Structure 1
Amino acid sequence: METRDPELKKELDATLQARRELGPEYESELVDSFLEKLDGAVDRRVRRQLAERRMIVARGTRSRGEAGGGFGSRYGFGIFSLVMALPLSGVGAATAGLPGLIVTWVGIVGVNAAHGGLLPRFRNREKRREPDEWD
């Protein structure tokens, strides 16, 4: 998506030119007019993005930047959790011994399973077997 809107750039240039021609006494009105146009452009862009996201959700597909979609999202979380597992294991083992270490690793595996989508897939299977009245 392009970050600059050529139409808004033209509007800004026209507003600045009008300010030069009319003088500072009309500056407030010119700025208000430009801000209204900018607000409308932002509203249109936000509405378009929301519509795109709703379409993605309705189709059941993921966009590239969503969670679980790209390499960084999938493997970055796993790598981070393994790096954090070292100090967490030390704390768990030091405070509660072997049971603390086991609880720590069950938590790490659980968090990674939830992030990886294992739990939502399991829940979706449950919903298919017994449809709820809200589905």
Structure 2
Amino acid sequence: MESQELKKELGAALDARRELGPDYEAALVDSFVEKVDTQVRRRLAEERLAAARGGRGGLPSPDGGFGERFGFAIITLVLAVPLSAIGSTQAGFKGLLVAWAGVLGVNFIHAAKRLRPGDRAA
């Protein structure tokens, strides 16, 4: 169900991009990535809650273990494919660079949040 919502959001972002033009492309990409990030965080919170209620069961640990990092990496790489296609189609190599800068930026922010001392205690 969540993947259907993401597909609808991506379709809406592409439609908005066609209507608004390339001037708003970065804002549309940022908005879409933020929605995906929100969905990932919500799902991880639900899994953590379920793990706390009924044991681990292979779910990510509350301190953001391997499962969370791996899942986040997979999701960002999956999203990088359409973002790369959109960026390179609309703005050539510069668009591709912007798309990957966004992907890398999201991953660096995610990694930086894990490195802060106060964020590990939950």
TM-score, with normalisation over the residues of structure 1?
A: 0.38
- Structure whose alpha-carbon radius of gyration is higher: 1
Pick 1 or 2: higher relative contact order, CA cutoff 8 A, min separation 6. 2
TM-score, with normalisation over the residues of structure 2?
A: 0.41
